[in-house]
Structure 1
Amino acid sequence: MTPAARLAAAASVLDSIAHSRQPAEVVLKAWGAANRYAGSGDRRAIADRVYKVIRARGRLVWAMGGREDGRALVIGSLSLIDGLPLEEIERLHSGDGYGPRPLSKQERSRITAEPGELPGWVAAGLPEFVVEDFKITFGDRWTEEAHALMAPRAPIDLRVNSAKTTVAAVEAELRAAGLAPQRTPWSAWGLRLAAEPAPDVQAMDIFKQGHIEIQDEGSQVACWLAGVEAGMTVVDYCAGGGGKTLGLAMQGQPVVTKAPKAQAEAAPVAAWSPVGGDDAAPQPKPKAKPVEITSTIRLFAYDVVQKRLDNIRPRLARAGVNADLRLLGQNGGGVEDLVRQADVVLVDAPCSGSGAWRRRPEDAWRLKPSEIERMHALQVQILDRASALVKPGGRLVFITCSMLRGENEASAAAFEENHPEFAPVPIAEALNSPNLTDAARERLGAMAEGHRLRLSPASTGTDGFFAAVYERTA
């Protein structure tokens, strides 16, 4: 494909994303599957342009006079992001072949206009309606938080399965595969890989054998705040994709102190591609079969969607752990046998997902104020139902992957008002876990506001998370 044809394709993909609820990555894969003539280099170039545009969308819409179509955003990106002169942009829009049609008079005037002073929300790259929330939460640091959330690509965080291997062993295997892992600062079981070039971790033997899971460090920290210990009954009330289910399950296993013997040779690592295919190198099959490990906890994972629960099963099998997967009724039914029986109930509540906008920036521009109000009401309802499962002396952990007070602090405050039988547990106390580093206990403990903790890309280098911890006293 010519550079001009790639621009036309990027504009088309952007329009598809705008009219879809699918993640940008899924839309890109679908485009690649439908346009087999596009080689791996073409797909990477198109994906790069698409993500550049999405991350700078607010600024580009402003620069293009309010236009939100893919063509306008791509033209704006060539000027504002790439810094191309008008003549070069016009050359790429000659209308020849599969390239985009020539610039209109209006488009030409927009990219040659003198840049004026940008409104704060445009400069920060956030949807306008969330700016006030950010200002209240972060004060003078709100633009720094906004930039860290929207501008850079997120790294790839891994959680080492302590029941099967050690951090040092996984670190050595990743280095042998040509990667450069770094220890995560807060989670004692975390390793971090750079965002670019992103390796195909799921094709590696250490993933297939259940030695690692892909899990943001903030999500790992949230699991460790639960304080799971041997002999406990533990409930993951909103299991979703199962990442935290696996993190909870890991805390119920004996810890491996030596590297496993005769691990399979590290798999070749393929460069990231929006659609995979011809970029992926052949991968050897795992030489070791998954081994189930005897758990020391009773773990129950609930969700309202059966397909999500079904998708957790192979992840549990790969990790060698067990959980009782149960379908939750739409009105909270199906939990009667666990009322006031659980030592730990973790509620990873549905939310806007704004804490993960650096991974899915397209979601920022789909979010509406009404959705925040709906999520808040749903969170309060879910917390009310989930809290019934906590036994006296047991712990309730409320988590979101949101940056917004309308979901986080507002929902925690509503729960506290409605449930005086739950006392706040200081985050400093919840941080007393062997799965957290000394740096976590010091730094995160200082950041906490009593029983509440907020993580963010700017402050902790993680996705955005909010956690509040409680104990039933009556």
Structure 2
Amino acid sequence: MTPAARLAAAASILDSIAQGRHPAEVVIKAWGQQNRYAGSKDRRAIADRVYKVLRARGRLSWIMGGREDGRALVIGSLGVLDGLSLEEIEALHTGEGYGPGPLSKHERGRLAVKDSELPGWVEAGLPEFVVEDLKETFGDQWAAEARALMAPRAPIDLRVNTGRASLEAVEGELRAAGLSPERTPWSPVGLRLTAEPPPNIQTLDAFREGRIEIQDEGSQVVCALAGARPGMTVVDYCAGGGGKTLGLAAALQGEGRLIASDVVQKRLGNIQPRLERAGVEADLRLIGQNGGGLEDLNGQADLVFVDAPCSGSGTLRRHPEAAWRLKPDEVERLHALQVRILDQAAKLVKPGGRLAYVTCSVLTRENEASADAFEAAHPDMRPVAVTPPWADGPMTRVRLSPGATDTDGFFLALYERAA
């Protein structure tokens, strides 16, 4: 493919991402499968352009006069991010072959605009309401957090299944496979891969045989802080893909009972092979939208782990396309859903038992505001303080973020029912 054809392909992919809800990596992979003529170097260059544009979308749209179509964003990236001259950009837009058509008068004019006085939220690459939230939460550190949240590359974190192998053994196995794992600073069972290009973890024997799982260190930490221990009855109330289900199962060490529930049967079905690969067990339960299906566990659980549905704003460094899908009304809807789920889940907690509220969000409305609403409605649920591995002392609400802890963004609030 010519450089111009790669630009046209990137613009088309960006339009497909904007028009749907699929993650960027899924759309890019589908494009590659449908266009077999594109070689590996072509696909890599196109993907790099797409992600580069997604992380700077706000800035590029501003430069291009508010346009958000793939063509405009790619044109803007050539001038703003690549530093090409107008003549060089025009040479890539001749309309010949499979390349993009010639620049319009408006496009040429927009390329002359300087971005030295961008509004703060535009420069951050995030929606304005998200930036205002970051300012409220992180104060003077908001800009650093925004940059980390939209960083070009996020590491691959692995959780070692110590029921299958030791951390040291897996570390040696990965090195023998040509990788360079580093131990994670906060999780005692975590390994981090930062090499480029990222390896295909699912092809490794360590993965296929259940010795490792892909899990961000922040996710590993909130699982550990929840306090699951052997002999407990633990409910993973919103099991989703099952990553934290496996982490909770590992904490039980084969002693106790783990129930993983969700409102979508397909998600539960996808968890079963992961459990089998890891050599652990869980009772998978399909529940209704009103929480029905777990009545036999009312007042029985030692720990109810609520990894609530959220915006996923804490994972934007992995999914930059999601930043511009965030809308205030959707965050408000999620807040109401989280409060309702917490109310349902609390019924399962026995006297002296605990409830862990977790999100992978950095937004106050989904974190502190939901916790505040739950506490106001449940005075019998006492906040419990825990000490994260990086903290000087205990805290009742724990935040993790790319800037502060070099993890995805997470929030944890832990509660104990009065005995």
Instruction: Provide the C-alpha distance between the structure 2 equivalents of 1:445 and 1:403, rounded to a whole number of angstroms.
Output: 22
Instruction: Provide the C-alpha distance between the structure 1 equivalents of 2:289 and 2:185, rounded to a whole number of angstroms.
Output: 39
Post-superposition offset of 1:445: 4.8
1:61-117 Cα deviation digits (max 9, x unpaired) = 001110100000001111111111122111111111100111111111111223340
Aligned to 2:12: 12
Counterpart AA for 1:464: G
Aligned to 2:47: 47
Instruction: Provide the C-alpha distance between the structure 2 equivalents of 1:114 and 1:44, rounded to a whole number of angstroms.
Output: 30
Q: Which one of 330, 348, 367 corresponds to residue 389 of structure 1?
A: 348
Instruction: Provide the C-alpha distance between the structure 2 equivalents of 1:231 and 1:371, rounded to a whole number of angstroms.
Output: 39
Contact kept, 8 Å, 2:291 with 2:344, in 1: the verdict is yes
Instruction: Provide the C-alpha distance between the structure 1 equivalents of 2:392 and 2:152, rounded to a whole number of angstroms.
Output: 27
Instruction: Provide the C-alpha distance between the structure 2 equivalents of 1:88 and 1:414, rounded to a whole number of angstroms.
Output: 56
Aligned to 1:153: 153
Post-superposition offset of 1:173: 1.3
Counterpart AA for 1:228: A
Counterpart AA for 1:468: A
Instruction: Provide the C-alpha distance between the structure 1 equivalents of 2:57 and 2:87, rounded to a whole number of angstroms.
Output: 23
Three-state SS of the structure 2 residue aligned to 1:112 is coil
Alignment map for 1:87-166 (pairs within 5 Å): 87-166=87-166
Alignment map for 1:433-444 (pairs within 5 Å): 440=389, 443-444=390-391
Q: CA RMSD in A?
A: 1.0
Identity %: 71
Aligned to 1:350: 309
Aligned to 1:304: 263
Three-state SS of the structure 2 residue aligned to 1:66 is coil
Aligned to 1:413: 372
Instruction: Provide the C-alpha distance between the structure 2 equivalents of 1:444 and 1:63, rounded to a whole number of angstroms.
Output: 42
Three-state SS of the structure 1 residue aligned to 2:114 is coil
Instruction: Provide the C-alpha distance between the structure 2 equivalents of 1:146 and 1:210, rounded to a whole number of angstroms.
Output: 35
TM-score (norm: length of structure 2): 0.98
Does residue 349 of structure 2 align to residue 404 of structure 1? Answer: no
Does residue 399 of structure 2 align to residue 457 of structure 1? Answer: no
Instruction: Provide the C-alpha distance between the structure 2 equivalents of 1:130 and 1:80, rounded to a whole number of angstroms.
Output: 23
Post-superposition offset of 1:367: 1.1
Contact kept, 8 Å, 2:52 with 2:152, in 1: the verdict is no
Instruction: Provide the C-alpha distance between the structure 1 equivalents of 2:266 and 2:408, rounded to a whole number of angstroms.
Output: 26
Post-superposition offset of 1:347: 0.2
Q: Which one of 253, 268, 273 corresponds to residue 314 of structure 1?
A: 273
Three-state SS of the structure 2 residue aligned to 1:344 is strand
Counterpart AA for 1:372: V
Counterpart AA for 2:121: W
Aligned to 2:178: 178
Instruction: Provide the C-alpha distance between the structure 1 equivalents of 2:241 and 2:114, rounded to a whole number of angstroms.
Output: 47
Q: Which one of 411, 425, 432 corresponds to residue 384 of structure 2?
A: 425
Contact kept, 8 Å, 1:343 with 1:391, in 2: the verdict is yes
1:294-351 Cα deviation digits (max 9, x unpaired) = x202000000000000000000000000000000111110111100101111000000
- Relative distance call for 1:37 and 1:358 in structure 2 (3 A) is same
Three-state SS of the structure 2 residue aligned to 1:395 is strand
Contact kept, 8 Å, 2:180 with 2:195, in 1: the verdict is no
Alignment map for 1:247-326 (pairs within 5 Å): 247-253=247-253, 295-326=254-285
Greater relative contact order (CA < 8 Å, ≥ 6 in sequence): 1
Contact kept, 8 Å, 1:240 with 1:303, in 2: the verdict is yes
Structure 2: unaligned runs, 5 residues or longer? none
Q: Which one of 370, 379, 387 corresponds to residue 338 of structure 2?
A: 379
Q: Which segment is superposed worse, 221-230 or 2-11? A: 221-230
TM-score (norm: length of structure 1): 0.87
Structure 1: unaligned runs, 5 residues or longer? 254-294, 432-439
Q: Which segment is superposed worse, 140-149 or 30-39? A: 30-39
1:133-177 Cα deviation digits (max 9, x unpaired) = 111100111111011001321100000001010111111111112
Instruction: Provide the C-alpha distance between the structure 2 equivalents of 1:445 and 1:158, rounded to a whole number of angstroms.
Output: 26
Three-state SS of the structure 1 residue aligned to 2:210 is coil
Counterpart AA for 1:417: A
Size of the aligned set, in residue pairs, is: 419
Q: Which segment is superposed worse, 298-307 or 126-135? A: 126-135
Three-state SS of the structure 2 residue aligned to 1:62 is helix
Alignment map for 1:320-339 (pairs within 5 Å): 320-339=279-298
Aligned to 2:323: 364
Instruction: Provide the C-alpha distance between the structure 2 equivalents of 1:149 and 1:111, rounded to a whole number of angstroms.
Output: 27
Three-state SS of the structure 2 residue aligned to 1:179 is coil
Aligned to 1:287: none
